Structure formats: structure tokens, C-alpha cells
């Protein structure tokens, strides 16, 4: 292993260990505060709300300069995809590099959606916003299929998540994405379900076998937007929070 790779992994381990031992990272799991709010400790630890529970502030349509006129709604403190509303994907105004992102999601059985990160607009395909996707799609299979890279918690199309414990359809689940340098972790309901290196051997081999194979350095951008995917199925999001990791 090269010295630079060793240093990167050691630094990532320190950052992640700090994140994992901080109570502020248990957003939606043990936090008894009201949804879409920050505790004083979370504020001190650098957390920021990406959804305030009342407005679409901080979001816009992907490849657009304003929020969609239809297809999305704020309902009882949730950012909601309306069925067949054709609102399209939405992205954060800001871009992120090293970060810890948490969010809660719930949806009916087989509602297809996801949260993407390191999203670039008009880069891989003109008019498209593409990036790495944390799947929220619950196919209804129990136990979850460990050979389906399109199911909940997986890195969509690329890498399989395992050891997943998912609540029944229509109940809230808590997701977490930790990204530092090239190292990324997916968490679901307080359990780590996937870890990989952007640009690593396994990652690039997966890209080469996927529908993203013709996009040079797909998923390896230094920074990108967070995206909520509108696939035409009702899905609810809340407690969307992020903090920068230095």
C-alpha cells in the first residue's frame, strides 16, 4: 500500500471514529427533539438542516434555477414526492465534499426513490444530474436480497449493501452517509451496511460493468450536490441534516 493511501485511510478512520462516538450523529435514532430541528449540541458540532420542515429553502430543480412548480410538497413536516407529479429531481443549492449526511425516509411498498451525492449537472450527460445513489427502494423482500444492487441502502447499480435491518413499508428508517476523501460508508438504522473507496479497484470495476461505464471518472468528483430523486412514487423525507468533516 502506498504511503498516501495509508495516510488517507488512517485519517479517515480518525474522522469516522470521532463521528461515530458523537451523540450528534444519532440523528433520528435517539434524538428526542422535534423533527427538522437541531439541538444545541448538534449546532456546536457543525450540523446544518437541509430541510426546515416548512419550506423548500435551499433546494431547486435539478438543472433548473427554481424549485419545481408541481410534484413536491411539504406535508406535516415532511418533504414529500407526490405520486406521478412529474416534479423531477431536486438538488441542494450548495455542493459538498467531505461530509456526514443523515436523513429519515419512509414510503409505501415498492416506491422507488433515492438520495444521490457528489451529483454533477450537465457533466456526464447534458441536461442530466448524475451522481452516486443511496437507494431507498424497499422491494418488500424479507430478508433483503443481498444480490440486488437496486434495493435499499445499496450504492445503486454498483455495490451491494448487506446486513440490513429495514422497518416495514410505511415506517420511518434512518439513513446515514459518511464521506471523507475517497472513503464512503452507508448506514441504515444505526448499522453500517456498506463501505467502499471512490476510485478504488472494486469501485471502478463496478462502474465498468454498469450503465455508467461510458462516463469518465464517474462518481469521483471532488464535490457535488445532494439530490432527492423523483421516480413518480410517493416518498417522505425529514430530518435531513449535514455537517462538514475536516
pLDDT for 139: 85
Q: Please, which pLDDT band fits residue 227 given cuts at 50, 70 and 90?
A: very high
Write the DSSP assignment of 106-121 as a string of letters: E--TT---EEEEEEEE
Q: Please, which pLDDT band fits residue 25 given cuts at 50, 70 and 90?
A: very low
**Mean pLDDT value of segment 82-111:** 96
Q: Is the pLDDT of residue 26 over 60?
A: no
pLDDT for 14: 52
**Mean pLDDT value of segment 122-141:** 94
DSSP class of residue 144 equals P
**Mean pLDDT value of segment 78-102:** 96
> Is 153 or 1 the better-scoring residue by pLDDT?
153
pLDDT for 30: 42
Residues 6+ apart with CB under 8 A from 32: none
pLDDT for 2: 54
The CA-atom distances, in angstroms, between 174 and each of 31, 75, 236, 246 are 12, 19, 12, 24
Q: Is the pLDDT of residue 18 over 60?
A: no
pLDDT for 13: 52
pLDDT for 28: 40
The CA-atom distances, in angstroms, between 139 and each of 109, 152, 166, 229 are 6, 8, 11, 17
Q: Is the pLDDT of residue 6 over 60?
A: no
Amino acid at each position: 500500500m502506498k504511503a498516501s493511501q495509508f495516510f488517507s485511510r488512517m485519517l479517515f478512520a480518525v474522522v469516522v471514529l470521532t463521528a461515530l462516538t458523537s451523540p450528534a450523529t444519532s440523528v433520528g435514532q435517539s434524538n428526542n427533539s422535534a423533527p427538522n430541528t437541531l439541538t444545541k449540541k448538534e449546532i456546536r458540532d457543525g450540523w446544518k438542516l437541509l430541510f426546515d420542515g416548512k419550506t423548500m429553502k435551499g433546494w431547486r430543480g435539478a438543472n433548473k434555477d427554481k424549485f419545481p412548480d408541481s410534484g413536491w410538497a411539504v406535508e406535516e413536516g415532511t418533504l414529500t414526492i407526490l405520486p406521478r407529479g412529474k416534479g423531477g429531481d431536486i438538488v441542494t443549492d450548495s455542493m459538498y465534499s467531505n461530509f456526514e449526511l443523515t436523513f429519515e425516509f419512509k414510503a409505501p411498498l415498492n416506491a422507488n426513490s433515492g438520495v444521490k451525492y457528489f451529483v454533477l449537472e450537465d457533466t456526464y450527460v447534458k441536461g442530466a444530474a448524475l451522481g452516486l445513489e443511496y437507494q431507498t427502494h424497499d422491494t418488500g423482500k424479507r430478508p433483503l436480497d443481498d444480490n440486488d444492487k437496486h434495493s435499499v441502502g445499496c450504492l445503486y447499480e454498483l455495490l451491494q449493501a448487506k446486513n440490513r435491518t429495514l422497518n416495514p413499508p410505511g415506517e420511518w428508517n434512518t439513513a446515514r452517509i459518511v464521506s471523507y476523501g475517497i472513503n464512503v460508508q452507508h448506514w441504515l438504522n444505526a448499522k453500517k451496511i456498506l463501505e467502499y473507496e471512490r476510485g478504488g479497484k472494486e469501485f471502478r470495476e463496478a462502474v465498468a460493468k454498469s450503465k455508467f461505464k461510458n462516463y469518465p471518472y464517474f462518481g469521483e468528483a471532488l464535490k457535488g450536490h445532494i439530490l432527492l430523486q423523483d421516480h413518480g412514487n410517493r416518498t417522505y423525507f425529514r430530518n435531513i441534516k449535514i455537517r462538514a468533516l475536516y
